[in-house]
Amino acid sequence: MSEQAGQVTMYTTTFCPYCVRAKMLLQKKGVPVTEINLDGDWEGRQALVKKTGGQRTVPQIWVGTVHVGGFDDLHALDRKGGLDPLLIEQQVPAG
């Protein structure tokens, strides 16, 4: 599980309403998302907790190599006008 510049990576589960909302926000901006579904993946969840320093909730979103956090964090970043510059900085292509 590694994030890299040029992509948005989102760790999700199937029935997570916040995951759906995050995907919708990014789709509205034309940003492709690499989704990693953690349904039934105990090892993947444990790795995510370690990688995020203890976060257990989904979604967990990376814009390139920058960990944004969950949907609330993504939405707040967008509201402040910080998401578009981050997408550009991390060289994420718009669709």
The reported pTM is 0.92
* Fold for the domain defined by 8-89: Glutaredoxin (3.40.30)
Q: CA torsion, points 62, 1, 58, 41, in degrees to nearest 10? A: 170
H-run or E-run covering 50: helix 42-52
Question: So where are the chain's domains?
Answer: 8-89
For residue 18, the model assigns a pLDDT of 98
Q: Can you say how many angstroms the Cα of residue 60 is from the centroid of all Cα atoms in its chain? A: 5
- With cut-offs at 50, 70 and 90, classify the pLDDT of residue 2: low
- CA 86/CA 95 separation, integer angstroms: 16
pLDDT tens column, 63-94: 999 999 999 999 999 999 999 999 999 999 87
Tell me the residue length of the chain: 95
